[in-house]
Amino acid sequence: MTHFKVYREDRWPHMFCPGCGIGTTMSCFQRAFVNQGIDLDKTAFVSGIGCSSRVSGYVYADSLHTTHGRGLAYATGLKLANRDLDVFVFTGDGDLGAIGGNHFIQACRRNMDLFVICVNNNNFGMTGGQASSTTLHGYTTSTTPGGNPEYPFDLARLAAAAGANYVARYTSAHPKQLIRVMEEGMNRKGFRFIEAWVACPVYFGRYNKLKTPVEHLEWLKENSVHIEQMKADGRTSEDDIDLHVAGKITVGVIRDAERKSYIESIEGDD
Ligand SMILES: Cc1ncc(C[n+]2csc(CCOP(=O)(O)OP(=O)(O)O)c2C)c(N)n1
Ligand SMILES: [Mg+2]
């Protein structure tokens, strides 16, 4: 295993709250990245705005901390300008699924050669816990004190339906599995999408009786169901994987396809 630092400890202390699952996601990413021996000098990191989008500022690599929701647009330009770069995007459910929603589906449709990690804490953490487009129906946030009347996007299913080559979802209560799918995604081409549901005890948790990190992690674990387990139980329809149909966080590899990536398409076969 190659040993090198992925994160800039000179930037510590970081700005995450106690018990925040962004740290777990960063740690999983570091392991996957180091295990795969990827060269930081041939890598760039991009993100929008949000707690999760701060990760790009903590890496020992060239990085762009861009405008809210626009990380994928910047990342697309960067990749097209320098195809030798591995471009990684750290984003949040608000950044990617709300203000950046259109960039998200278009980048998946193009099967753009990007590796995207969405830290889904079910709310706008940075701005004080407002409801996002992934906040679960009926759950409480600072802007839905009577319970969220809306239904959430299933971001992983959305990515798969829009055409992303590799899509997987786990939670910060599944670190080993997160590392595995991150490594698998690093070995695929096109749009790779890892959705990590994470504990956010300070904002999402506080409003939903999940005030401690342990309570929040237990909630994530108890409310997850593995796709392979569902298949073994005879729930084999594509729709069964949907968060709404399952009534659970469906975890596992949701799509693993070999559609030509954008770069492969423009470079042709010669
Ligand atoms: C154009 C614009 N609109 C609104 C904001 C305020 N804002 C900053 S972060 C954020 C939400 C971030 O949520 P998410 O992407 O889920 O990240 P988290 O903090 O939860 O990790 C918002 C609305 C902004 N910075 N720019
Ligand atoms: Mg969020």
* pLDDT given at position 52: 98
Strands 191-197 vs 166-171: parallel, antiparallel or unpaired: parallel
DSSP string, 73-132: HHHHHHHHH-TTSEEEEEEEHHHHHTTTHHHHHHHHHHT-SEEEEEEE-SEETTTTSEE-
| pLDDT by 10s per residue, the chain, length 270 | 444 689 998 999 999 999 999 999 999 999 999 999 999 999 999 999 999 999 999 999 999 999 999 999 999 999 999 999 999 999 999 999 999 999 999 999 999 999 999 999 999 999 999 999 999 999 999 999 999 999 999 999 999 999 999 999 999 999 999 999 999 999 999 999 999 999 999 999 999 999 999 999 999 999 999 999 999 999 988 889 999 888 999 999 999 999 999 999 999 865
Residues 6+ apart with CB under 8 A from 141: 123, 129, 130, 131, 135, 148, 203, 204, 207
Find out whether the beta carbon of 182 lies less than 6 Å from any atom of ligand 1.
Answer: no
Vertex 55: Cα angle to 93 and 74 (nearest 5): 70
* pLDDT given at position 236: 87
Describe the chain by its helix, strand, coil percentages, rounded to 5.
Answer: 40, 20, 40
Pick the CATH number of 17-254 from 3.20.20.70, 3.40.50.970, 3.30.1300.10, 3.40.50.10190: 3.40.50.970
Distance 19 CA to ligand 2 centre (A): 15
Distance 55 CA to ligand 2 centre (A): 13
Rounded distance, CA 50 to CA 40, Å? 23
Q: How far is CA 267 from CA 83, 85, 205, 270, in A?
A: 10, 15, 47, 8
Find out whether the beta carbon of 129 lies less than 6 Å from any atom of ligand 1.
Answer: no
Q: Where are the domains of the chain?
A: 17-254
Mutational pocket test of ligand 1: of 58, 127, 200, 206, the residue with most ligand atoms within 8 Å of the beta carbon: 127
* pLDDT given at position 4: 62
Which tokens hold the place of 147?
Answer: 């319970």
Find out whether the beta carbon of 92 lies less than 6 Å from any atom of ligand 1.
Answer: yes
Q: Is 94 left (phi over 0), alpha (psi -120 to 50) or beta?
A: alpha
Distance 130 CA to ligand 1 centre (A): 10
* pLDDT given at position 17: 97
Find out whether the beta carbon of 119 lies less than 6 Å from any atom of ligand 1.
Answer: yes
Residue nearest to atom 2 of ligand 1 (CA): 68
- CB count within 10 Å of CB 57 equals 16
Q: Are 160 and 153 in contact (CB under 8 A)?
A: no
- CB count within 10 Å of CB 247 equals 10
Distance 47 CA to ligand 1 centre (A): 11
Find out whether the beta carbon of 132 lies less than 6 Å from any atom of ligand 1.
Answer: yes
| Number of the ligand 1 atom closest to the C-alpha atom of 93 | 16
Find out whether the beta carbon of 29 lies less than 6 Å from any atom of ligand 1.
Answer: no
* pLDDT given at position 1: 40
Q: Are 133 and 211 in contact (CB under 8 A)?
A: no
Distance 127 CA to ligand 1 centre (A): 6
Please name which of 70, 59, 206 lies closest in space to residue 125, comparing C-alpha atoms: 206
* pLDDT given at position 130: 98
* pLDDT given at position 257: 97
* pLDDT given at position 270: 54
Find out whether the beta carbon of 190 lies less than 6 Å from any atom of ligand 1.
Answer: no
